Amino acid sequence: MLIGIDLGGMSIKGGLINEDGKIIIKKSLPTGAWRKPEEIILDIARVIDMLKKESEEKIEIVGVGVPGIVSHNNAFLEKCANINLEQIDLKKELEQLIGIETYVDNDANVAAIAEYEIGALKDYNSAILITLGTGVGGGIIIDGNVVRGSHGAGAEIGHMVVGENFYDCNCGRNGCLETFSSATGIGKYTEKLLKESDEDSILRNYEKITTKNIFDASKIGDKLAKNAVDRFIKYLSIGVVNFINIFDPEAIAFGGGVSHAGQYLIDLLNDEIKKSLYSKDVEIAKIMLAKLQNDAGIVGAAFMAKKL
């Protein structure tokens, strides 16, 4: 039996998971992200303990997915986005509290592992998951191994520079993929188009425009929305072709909120990618939608630890 923990800004979610990736039971506690680190860690241990009590079998291993950079062989939490945890040997702290072997990883890697083990990428050996949400994240798995880099700071997919943009990225650079091809990126660009032109668009009827509104409007031929979607696809395609040129994976899956645009997104992306391939005569990665939803963090964390 395995335990997977998905540490988020709002809650510490955990699950007792069997070898097939089935969640037997889930437990959670609020994160209280700005509390003292020791209080947050104690509550992570509490969730693990609640799950452990539910298991009749021995817990083999615990995996924790965190929104941050993890180094030193899945042990040391360098820093965390929006949670008051940094410079902590989280593996050691948790092992001391719960007495079970524990590993920690970045949540994007964990999501990729979940897709790789039981989701859309399960039939492939080398594959990439790209999540298109508020930002752009993801994980790279080559021949079964997660590409984490030497210091745990690798595979920051969203911060690959793919062009020049009209606003800077949170990371301080200009032109990062996530400033073009995330919900935030397409939202900002659509607002700019609406403000700077008088072009007719059904998007003018909405008080607050969502990514879904933009993609839906584009699907039914709204020119302004199509313009925004085309730009989103153009830069995403630059990023994807970079990945194909460097890694030549078997498959690339897309998850995150924006991926709810579904096959429409995949078809547009496939058309754009074909235009700019370097190795035009060679078979390329299959482009597909990710499969797993909210529980991917829990399942992926457990499998991450098991795979190490």
Binding site for Zn ion (CB under 5 A): 159, 169, 171, 173, 176
Minimum distance of Zn ion from residue 305's CB (angstroms): 29
Minimum distance of Zn ion from residue 169's CB (angstroms): 3
Minimum distance of Zn ion from residue 158's CB (angstroms): 6
The nearer residue to Zn ion, 169 or 290, going by C-beta atoms, is 169
The nearer residue to Zn ion, 171 or 308, going by C-beta atoms, is 171
The nearer residue to Zn ion, 169 or 265, going by C-beta atoms, is 169
For residue 109, give Cα distances in angstroms to 8, 48, 112, 155: 14, 21, 5, 9
Tell me how far apart the alpha carbons of residues 3 and 286 are, in angstroms, rounded to a whole number. Answer: 32
Tell me how far apart the alpha carbons of residues 258 and 24 are, in angstroms, rounded to a whole number. Answer: 29
The nearer residue to Zn ion, 44 or 162, going by C-beta atoms, is 162
Residue 255 β-bridge partners:
131
- Which of 79, 75, 78, 83 has the alpha carbon at shortest distance from 104? 75
How many other C-beta atoms lie within 10 A of the C-beta of residue 295? 17
Indicate the pairing of strand 251-255 with strand 286-289: parallel
The nearer residue to Zn ion, 10 or 171, going by C-beta atoms, is 171
How many other C-beta atoms lie within 10 A of the C-beta of residue 38? 11
Minimum distance of Zn ion from residue 176's CB (angstroms): 3
Minimum distance of Zn ion from residue 202's CB (angstroms): 32
E strand residue ranges, 93-156: 102-106, 127-132, 136-142, 145-146
User: 72, 87 in Cβ contact below 8 A?
Assistant: no
User: 70, 104 in Cβ contact below 8 A?
Assistant: yes
Residue 132 β-bridge partners:
136
Minimum distance of Zn ion from residue 181's CB (angstroms): 12
- Which of 10, 14, 32, 28 has the alpha carbon at shortest distance from 100? 14
Alpha helices in 220-284 (DSSP H): 223-247, 263-275
Minimum distance of Zn ion from residue 243's CB (angstroms): 17
The nearer residue to Zn ion, 36 or 173, going by C-beta atoms, is 173
Q: How many residues does the chain have?
A: 308
The nearer residue to Zn ion, 25 or 171, going by C-beta atoms, is 171
Amino acid making up residue 147: V
Minimum distance of Zn ion from residue 239's CB (angstroms): 12
